[in-house]
Amino acid sequence: MADAVGFIGLGAMGKPMALNLRKHDVAVVVHNRSHAAERVLAEAGASIATTPAAIAAACDVVLLMLPDAPDVEAVLEGPSGLLAGLQPGTVVVDSSTIAPSAAIRFAGLVAARGGAYLDAPVSGGEIGAIDGTLTFMVGGDADALASVTPLLAHMGKAERIVHVGPSGAGQICKACNQLVIGGTMVAVAEALALAGKAGVDGAKVRQALLGGFASSRVLEVHGERMLTGNYKPGFKAKLYKKDLRIVAEALAEYGVAAPETALVQQLVHAQIAAGGGDDDYSGIAQVIFRLARLD
């Protein structure tokens, strides 16, 4: 493990992930566009770097948690970017959710500088980031992953750090994850809409379904949100829209028909058009409930 770990991107996910590293006494050097988030980490004992290049000069492991591929590109290739100061042997762990093709390109850029790039998107949401129970879906070199697994285990469970395959495979896995979640979320909303229109207690329906083959983490967590109307974001709908764009592009690239996912994407667009872009993505249920005239 590295003596000092760089962390760039201290948003809703990145900040608790970096804080979990500090809770395990890992020396952390952070950089973020918002200085307020940097101050939170500084109070927890982290150091602050003024540029990504400064982090590259100080750390041989760097973690990224950024909104999209253009943000990763700016951090890597921009003025005073990571690549400008990257040391041979550095492992860049990119937990951003980006297009698989972008991850493959970034892996090539880092490899050309003598480093290793792992695309390592996560699942578990903000709650998982806070609790340190994230799942890591990793593409890239297996030896590079083995070298940083103890660090990742401070932010996720060791058995949930999965080496999926070569560069880009982690992002393909994340696309599959978002695809499954969306379809399941819509099915749960439709089930609760049916119960509501029939005058049956949705909470009792959810309780019964959790005991059978219909049980899922989505039914457990997001089903409760739908019943209580608590759409305080763990993962904002506008970010899920971005993820579904990546899913749709991957489906088109590999020639996979996914009619259910196309419907989910349109329902998310409807949620955002109705003003729910900053709500949790489980707020897609509100669209289903309105269609059922349950509002």
- Give the residue numbers marked as catalytic: 174
Number of other residues whose CB lies within 10 A of the CB of residue 123: 19
Q: CA dihedral in degrees (189, 96, 171, 247; nearest 10)?
A: 40
Q: Which helix (H) or strand (E) holds 159?
A: strand 156-165
* Contacts of 124 by beta carbon, 8 Å cutoff, 6+ apart: 131, 133, 134, 135, 156
C-alpha 31/C-alpha 48 separation (Å) is: 6
User: In degrees, to the nearest 5, what angle opens at C-alpha 155 toward C-alphas 73 and 44?
Assistant: 90
Residue with tokens 């209580």: 228
Give which of 234, 142, 138 is closest to 181, Cα–Cα.
234
